[in-house]
């Protein structure tokens, strides 16, 4: 099959992106399209129309996930490709949106050329990926994977007390449980990188190897709050000087292990000029693609925190807030993304994902991988989010190529 001579219709793709960029538009070229809002409904209606217009069989499941199916020559399990159309409150035009609209463009291009595939192809829009209105994020893909029950999902409420279930019904996207995605041969999600790596290295395509595992900790350092004047330096139990040592130790260990470690929250009490700080609470976000490396670094950091606390005569409490295992993507598909990019003559690099995506839960269900496109200045979840036309076009060609290879693949993906 000589798909390399064929490319997507970028003008048509651009038109769908521009149309999407009008729905929920906010100043600065951004979007506010919260899950199950009126704007989400408007976008869904348009997407449904586009799918039907492209000859796809549309169905909606009980989480509101939308699917468009293009039949194959056989009834084997499908290739599934897509992402999400919802945004952050002050989000950009690209995020997961590109992943859905490029999936649509890929099947439209198959139609243009009358290309038939062995396996069916389904495109998908997952509900509430962002978690901005209803927490947690990636809720509906997590529902498919069995991580969240329907009852749990339906009873999540937004800040006004409106529930997911009620809002899903209100916008008319409460579909049937039997319509859920059950099994698939492969899942592909294209998404923007949301970090600076591809742009800095002038690379168009990221072949994503997996999603980094994450640990969130909360560290409470307790000393004694005393008057800053009368308390001699050597008689203090200063929680802040101890915590500062801990933060610089964390940075050193992060460099040693090559993990990313972030202390993003740091609060001091009593937070007064002339008081020795009695208590400090800080957070730690730790990530790496290799679970063993991450856990080794984590344990060493925890041990060192205890040592610093003992040396400084303060007490410390370390609480695990949340953790998430690494999702390692299917290597055959990751290689296929690299190889297809090379065949098109597009620059490609294997990279990990620092953020979570629907692909994480899909990876629990079957062979999965992701394609990343560069984010200008590494920005996302903001109106300044931007991915350049040339990268969008190349990403769409790669998805178009990869889904054809997968839809005709006659071996096991492992
Ligand atoms: Zn996203």
Taking only the tens place, the pLDDT of each residue in 187-239 is 999 999 999 999 999 999 999 999 999 999 999 999 999 999 999 999 999 99
pLDDT surpasses 90 at 64: yes
The dihedral sign for the CA sequence 148, 152, 158, 163: positive
Whole-number Å distance, alpha carbon 195 to ligand 1 midpoint, is 12
Which two tokens mark 89? 């409150």
DSSP secondary structure letter of residue 147:
S
pLDDT of residue 288: 95
Whole-number Å distance, alpha carbon 374 to ligand 1 midpoint, is 13
pLDDT of residue 99: 98
**Which residue carries 């509430």 as its tokens?**
128
Q: What average pLDDT does range 257-271 have in this prediction?
A: 96
Confidence of residue 2 (pLDDT cuts 50, 70, 90): low
DSSP β-bridge partners for residue 163 = 157
> Of 347, 336, 325, which is closest to residue 370 (Cα–Cα)?
336
The per-type count for the chain, helices as H runs and strands as E runs, is 12, 16
DSSP β-bridge partners for residue 380 = none
Whole-number Å distance, alpha carbon 96 to ligand 1 midpoint, is 4
3-state secondary structure of 201: coil
Give tens-digit pLDDT for 271-320.
Answer: 999 999 999 999 999 999 999 999 999 999 999 999 999 999 999 999 99
Residue 397, C-beta contacts closer than 8 angstroms, at least 6 positions apart: 7, 8, 344, 346
Torsion angle defined by CA atoms of residues 194, 198, 204 and 208, in that order, rounded to the nearest 10 degrees: -70
| Distance in angstroms (rounded) separating the CA atoms of residues 82 and 67 | 9
pLDDT of residue 324: 86
pLDDT surpasses 70 at 176: yes
> Which chain residues have CB less than 5 Å from ligand 1, an ion?
95-96
Whole-number Å distance, alpha carbon 126 to ligand 1 midpoint, is 10
Confidence of residue 322 (pLDDT cuts 50, 70, 90): confident
Residue 309, C-beta contacts closer than 8 angstroms, at least 6 positions apart: 221, 242, 246, 315, 316
Instruction: Name the percent of the chain lying above pLDDT 70.
Output: 99
The CA distances from residue 234 to 79, 237, 330, in Å, are 67, 9, 57
**Which residue carries 């139609």 as its tokens?**
111
DSSP secondary structure letter of residue 253:
H
| Distance in angstroms (rounded) separating the CA atoms of residues 22 and 101 | 14
Whole-number Å distance, alpha carbon 83 to ligand 1 midpoint, is 7
DSSP β-bridge partners for residue 267 = 281
DSSP secondary structure letter of residue 22:
T
Q: Characterise 131 by phi-psi region: left (phi > 0), alpha (psi -120 to 50), beta (else).
A: left
Q: What average pLDDT does range 34-45 have in this prediction?
A: 98
On the question of a cis peptide bond just before residue 157, with omega within 30 degrees of 0, the verdict is no
Q: What average pLDDT does range 336-356 have in this prediction?
A: 96
Whole-number Å distance, alpha carbon 98 to ligand 1 midpoint, is 9
Whole-number Å distance, alpha carbon 129 to ligand 1 midpoint, is 7
Whole-number Å distance, alpha carbon 393 to ligand 1 midpoint, is 19
Whole-number Å distance, alpha carbon 316 to ligand 1 midpoint, is 36
Q: What average pLDDT does range 22-31 have in this prediction?
A: 97
Whole-number Å distance, alpha carbon 95 to ligand 1 midpoint, is 5
Whole-number Å distance, alpha carbon 256 to ligand 1 midpoint, is 31
What would you report as the CA-atom Rg of the chain, rounded to the nearest whole angstrom? 24
Whole-number Å distance, alpha carbon 355 to ligand 1 midpoint, is 9
Whole-number Å distance, alpha carbon 11 to ligand 1 midpoint, is 23
pLDDT of residue 104: 98
Q: Are strands 79-83 and 186-192 parallel, antiparallel or unpaired?
A: parallel
Annotate 25-52 with DSSP letters as a single string.
EETTTEE---TTSHHHHHHHHHHHHHHH
Tally the residues of the chain.
414
> Of 276, 216, 292, 210, which is closest to residue 240 (Cα–Cα)?
276
Full set of structural domains in the chain with CATH? 3-211+326-407 (3.40.630.10), 213-324 (3.30.70.360)
Q: What average pLDDT does range 109-125 have in this prediction?
A: 97
| Distance in angstroms (rounded) separating the CA atoms of residues 370 and 329 | 8
Confidence of residue 4 (pLDDT cuts 50, 70, 90): low
């Amino acid at each position: 099959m000589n798909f390399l001579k064929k490319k997507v219709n970028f003008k048509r793709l651009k038109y769908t992106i521009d149309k999407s960029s009008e729905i929920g538009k906010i100043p600065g070229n951004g979007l506010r399209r919260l899950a199950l809002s009126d704007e989400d409904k408007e976008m869904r209606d348009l997407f449904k129309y586009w799918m039907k217009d492209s000859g796809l069989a549309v169905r909606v499941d009980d989480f509101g996930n939308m699917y468009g199916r293009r039949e194959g020559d056989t009834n084997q399990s499908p290739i599934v490709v897509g992402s999400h159309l919802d945004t952050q409150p002050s989000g950009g035009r690209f995020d997961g949106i590109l992943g859905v609209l490029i999936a649509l463009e890929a099947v439209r291009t198959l139609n243009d050329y009358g290309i038939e595939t062995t396996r069916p192809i389904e495109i998908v829009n997952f509900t509430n990926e962002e978690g901005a209105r209803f927490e947690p994020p990636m809720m509906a893909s997590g529902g498919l994977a069995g991580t969240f029950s329907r009852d749990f999902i339906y009873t999540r409420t937004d800040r006004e007390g409106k529930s997911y279930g009620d809002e899903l019904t209100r916008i008319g996207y409460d579909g049937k449980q039997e319509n859920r995605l059950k099994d698939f041969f492969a899942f592909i999600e294209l998404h923007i990188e949301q970090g600076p790596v591809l742009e800095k290295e002038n690379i168009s395509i990221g072949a994503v190897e997996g999603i980094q595992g994450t640990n969130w900790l909360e560290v409470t350092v307790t000393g004694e709050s005393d008057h800053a004047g009368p308390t001699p330096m050597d008689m203090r139990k200063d929680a802040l000087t101890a915590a500062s040592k801990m933060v610089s130790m964390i940075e050193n260990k992060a460099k040693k292990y090559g993990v990313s470690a972030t202390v993003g929250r740091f609060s001091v009490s009593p937070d007064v000029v002339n008081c020795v700080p009695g208590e400090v609470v800080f957070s730690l976000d730790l990530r790496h693609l290799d679970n063993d490396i991450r856990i080794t670094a984590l344990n060493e950091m925890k041990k060192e925190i205890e040592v610093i606390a003992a040396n400084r005569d303060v007490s410390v409490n370390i609480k695990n807030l949340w953790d998430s295992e690494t999702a390692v993507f299917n290597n055959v598909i990751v290689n296929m993304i690299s190889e297809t990019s090379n065949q098109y003559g597009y620059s490609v690099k294997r990279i990990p994902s620092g953020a979570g995506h629907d692909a994480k839960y899909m990876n629990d269900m079957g062979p999965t991988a992701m394609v990343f496109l560069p984010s200008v200045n590494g920005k996302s979840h903001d109106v300044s989010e931007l991915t350049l036309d040339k990268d969008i076009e190349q990403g769409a060609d790669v998805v178009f190529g990869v889904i054809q290879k997968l839809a005709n693949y006659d071996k096991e993906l492992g």
